[in-house]
Amino acid sequence: MDAFNSLLDGFGTALTPINLLWAVTGVLLGTAIGVLPGIGPAMAVALLLPVTYGLDPIGAFIMFAGIYYGAMFGGSTTSILLNTPGESAAVVAAMEGNPMAKSGRGAQALAAAAVGHFAGGLIGTLLLVALAPTVAKLAVDIGAPDYFAIMVLAFIAVTSVLGSSRIRGLASLLIGLTLGLVGLDQMTGQQRLTFGSLQLADGIDVVIVAVGLFAIGEALWVAAHLRRRPPEPIPVGRPWLGRDDVNRTWKSWLRGPFIGFPFGAVPAGGAEIPTFLSYVTEKRLSKHKDEWGKGAIEGVAGPESAASASAAGTLVSMLTLGLPTTAVAAVMLAAFQQYGIQPGPLLFEREPDLVWGLIASLFVGMVLLLALNLPLAPVWAKLLRIPRPYLYAGIMFFAAVGAYAVGGEVIDLVILLIIGLIGFGMRRYGLPVLPAVIGVILGPNAEQQLRRALQISDGSVTGLVNTPFAVTVYAVIVLLLVWPLLRKAVTRDRAEAA
Amino acid sequence: MTTQTDIPPAETGGARRSWLREHSELGVCALLLALGVLVLTDALTMDVDIAQRGPVGPKTVPIVVGAGLLVIAALLALDVLRGGRGQAEGGEDIDLSEPADWRTVLLLAGVFLGAAVLIEPLGFPIAGALLFWGAAFALGSRRIDRDPLIAAGLSLVTYTVFNNLLGVPLPGGPLMGVL
């Protein structure tokens, strides 16, 4: 058991006092941030990117992983107690969780969610341990054409699977690619879109783009439409589960991960689809069908477990292929780039300490989450009462800190504001933010791989499709592109037949 | 999502204005178009005299991206004229039933820009505190007794954590010179 030994080594890394401290910090910060309305896990990780300037990579990623899991748990707390889910993945938690809270069973809803997250995260991370090294081994000798194909897949998936409009998704992707072009061409040193400015010659730092789009854009957008009276959270005691509740939910906890994990690993929008699928599955299998919509505890347990496992699935593609399937993974990829580390099949060989330390810290983080969140839930619930002006002023403040820390340049703050205004416009007109971020992060890399592949094949386009791996990926891309048309044709046929 | 599609433009000034408001998304198309032209111009005016390695030079990808921007601008315009609308993003603290509050947005952006200008002469602790207080003020907080204290505390703690603990240098300014 190679993976098992590596994992043990990983625990050796994760359980050093300093890394344990980062894990606790990450989990606490993540939960607090997830509970705070208006801040999702992607913005949280983006705002914390500047700490990468002062931390070693292992500590930073252990903290980021804690934030990721913590923020997902915190998000469900908000849904259950406020019924205004900020993130799509938390919508499902509100459907049964909020009626439970209203009828005085908030403590049980929170407990079902917390244990669901623990179970989902545990099973998901075990699947990650089992699968990731194999995937990395299979992919280890993939070359430039394969990398390029994977990145094209990421571009297409993120624009056509997510969001309601492909045109708007593509527009967002192109904005991101354009921002990624600014600076010196990596292969020739040619200046592109710099307009003679020395500052722009270094390119626009990914941190600034991520913070601008996620944090400043969001704060400005909320400022334009701030609710005059924030919704009142439902007060809640310490979470606990009775014997009946456990009997009803344990199967849901175990089923959720197997729905969540595969969806997290493919670029299909992260936790949104699997939480919904899990909800539908649990509803169909439930013996208490009359309770659904009024607060069925299985409807919290299953989807929360699926959401947590999907986060583990996301890490499989991010670590083994360098393919970000969610916004958080995209920002974490940017963090890797800050350290000059390229996630991909070679990561397991080159940085075993980092990878296995990170994976081991996921287990540590989950235990910490369960141990902290059950007793601390009433404290977290208090965070929902934070005055909104402070909340969004704080986001602006930390965004400024982050952007200034990049290089100590005032011009970066101005660029940050401009990108924030772009993010504001994108939210106003329904352009999804994620494709732009993926475009900035992967665009320059994709261009390099493209040029390298064509260099090897001496300019012949066949050089892009001369490996089975690349051909497979392009086949998947074609499927993704054709699928909506097919579905339209099928439904039309059915409508005509009926 | 289909609303009225072809209103004859310019019957009265009011009708034109409401048509424009209804189709304000065309502004996004205009921006994408401008961006596309900018990227293409930059790519085409590049003089690639530096020895180019490989068959694909530094021009190719910008040309593809620029052309893509033009195509998407046209497609989006078509979609908007046919009645397609981008859906404004919702959220926990967002109330889309009210019209946009531009005053707050401009004030917030102004405060941010002001802090950016002040960060070097005044140093981070002061500029950061002004940023937080100003942003909270812009967002409607009027607690003169509490807001400045929170702002100063947050700014000082952040400065210390970043500058002294994490090793990310921030300008201290005259205040830190005195202390």
User: Sorting pLDDT into bands at 50, 70 and 90, what band is A186?
Assistant: confident
Q: Is residue A271 predicted with pLDDT exceeding 80?
A: no
Residue type, B15: A
- A308 CB-near residues (< 8 Å, 6+ apart): A69, A72, A73, A116, A117, A118, A119, A120, A121, A124, A256, A257, A260
Q: Is residue B41 predicted with pLDDT exceeding 70?
A: yes
What is the rounded average pLDDT of the residues A271-284? 83
As beta bridge partners, residue A191 has A184
C-alpha–C-alpha distance, residues A322 and A303, integer Å? 27
Q: Is residue A456 predicted with pLDDT exceeding 70?
A: yes
Structure ipTM: 0.87
User: Sorting pLDDT into bands at 50, 70 and 90, what band is A324?
Assistant: confident
A197-218 pLDDT, tens digit each = 877 888 888 888 888 988 899 8
Q: Is residue A164 predicted with pLDDT exceeding 80?
A: no
Average pLDDT of the residues of chain A: 83
Give the pLDDT score at B134.
92
**pLDDT-above-90 percentage for chain A:** 7
**Residue A287 phi, psi dihedral angles, 5° rounding:** -90, -5
- Find the residue in A nearest to B129 (Cα): A397
Compute the count of residue pairs across chains A and B with CB atoms less than 8 Å apart.
241
Give Cα B56 distance to the centre of its chain.
33
Give the pLDDT score at B7.
46
Record the tokens describing residue A144, joined without a space.
């430039």
Q: Is residue A427 predicted with pLDDT exceeding 70?
A: yes
What is the rounded average pLDDT of the residues A343-371? 86
Give the pLDDT score at B37.
93
Q: Determine which of A26-35, A86-95, B101-110 has the lowest per-residue pLDDT on average.
A: A86-95
Give the pLDDT score at B10.
47
User: Sorting pLDDT into bands at 50, 70 and 90, what band is A492?
Assistant: low
Give the pLDDT score at A420.
93
Return residues 109-148 of B near A (CB < 8 Å): 109, 111-113, 115-117, 119-120, 124, 128, 131-141
Q: Is residue A455 predicted with pLDDT exceeding 50?
A: yes
Q: Is residue A1 predicted with pLDDT exceeding 60?
A: no
Give the pLDDT score at A88.
63
Assess B173–A contact: CB distance below 8 Å, yes or no.
no
Give the pLDDT score at B11.
52
Q: Is residue A228 predicted with pLDDT exceeding 50?
A: yes
User: Sorting pLDDT into bands at 50, 70 and 90, what band is B130?
Assistant: very high
User: Sorting pLDDT into bands at 50, 70 and 90, what band is A161?
Assistant: low
C-alpha–C-alpha distance, residues A11 and A132, integer Å? 17
Most confident of A169-173, B11-15, B167-171: A169-173
Element (H, E) at B159: helix B147-160
Instruction: Please check whether residue A87 is in contact with residue A307, taking contact to mean a CB–CB distance below 8 angstroms.
Output: no
Give the pLDDT score at B131.
93
Give the pLDDT score at A89.
65
Q: Find chain A residues with C-beta within 8 A of B96's C-beta.
A: 225
User: Sorting pLDDT into bands at 50, 70 and 90, what band is A418?
Assistant: very high
C-alpha–C-alpha distance, residues A23 and A31, integer Å? 12
Element (H, E) at A60: helix A57-82
What is the rounded average pLDDT of the residues A118-140? 87
Assess B102–A contact: CB distance below 8 Å, yes or no.
yes
- Tell me the helix, strand and coil percentages in chain A, rounded to 5: 80, 0, 20
A359-375 pLDDT, tens digit each = 898 898 888 888 887 78
CB contact under 8 A, A54 and B120: no
- Find the residue in A nearest to B39 (Cα): A193
Tell me how close the Cα of A251 comes to any Cα of chain B, in angstroms: 31
User: Sorting pLDDT into bands at 50, 70 and 90, what band is A341?
Assistant: confident
Q: Find chain B residues with C-beta within 8 A of A389's C-beta.
A: 135-137, 139-141
Tell me how close the Cα of A329 comes to any Cα of chain B, in angstroms: 21
Assess B83–A contact: CB distance below 8 Å, yes or no.
no
CB contact under 8 A, B53 and A452: no
Map residue B88 onto helix, strand or coil: coil
Tell me how close the Cα of A55 comes to any Cα of chain B, in angstroms: 7
**pLDDT-above-70 percentage for chain A:** 94
Residue type, B111: V
Residue with tokens 């005085």: A104
What is the rounded average pLDDT of the residues A375-394? 83
Assess B86–A contact: CB distance below 8 Å, yes or no.
yes
C-alpha–C-alpha distance, residues A305 and A112, integer Å? 9
User: Sorting pLDDT into bands at 50, 70 and 90, what band is A491?
Assistant: low
User: Among A63, A65, A69, A51, which residue's Cα sits nearest to residue A21?
Assistant: A63
Record the tokens describing residue A210, joined without a space.
């991520």
Map residue A418 onto helix, strand or coil: helix
**pLDDT-above-70 percentage for chain B:** 85
User: Sorting pLDDT into bands at 50, 70 and 90, what band is A123?
Assistant: very high
What is the DSSP secondary-structure string of A475-489? HHHHHHHHHHHHHHH
Assess B7–A contact: CB distance below 8 Å, yes or no.
no
A60-117 pLDDT, tens digit each = 888 888 888 888 888 888 888 876 655 666 778 888 888 888 888 888 888 888 888 8
Largest Cα–Cα separation, chain B: 69
Give the pLDDT score at B1.
40
Give the pLDDT score at A192.
87
What is the rounded average pLDDT of the residues A375-390? 82
CA angle A55, A413, A327 (to 5 degrees): 60
- Say how many residues make up chain A: 498
What is the rounded average pLDDT of the residues A445-471? 85
Q: Is residue A457 predicted with pLDDT exceeding 80?
A: yes
Q: Is residue A299 predicted with pLDDT exceeding 70?
A: yes
What is the DSSP secondary structure assignment for residue B63, as one 8-state letter? H
User: Among A462, A428, A467, A395, which residue's Cα sits nearest to residue A37?
Assistant: A395
Instruction: Please check whether residue A44 is in contact with residue A74, taking contact to mean a CB–CB distance below 8 angstroms.
Output: no
What is the rounded average pLDDT of the residues A319-343? 84
- A421 CB-near residues (< 8 Å, 6+ apart): A216, A217, A220, B109
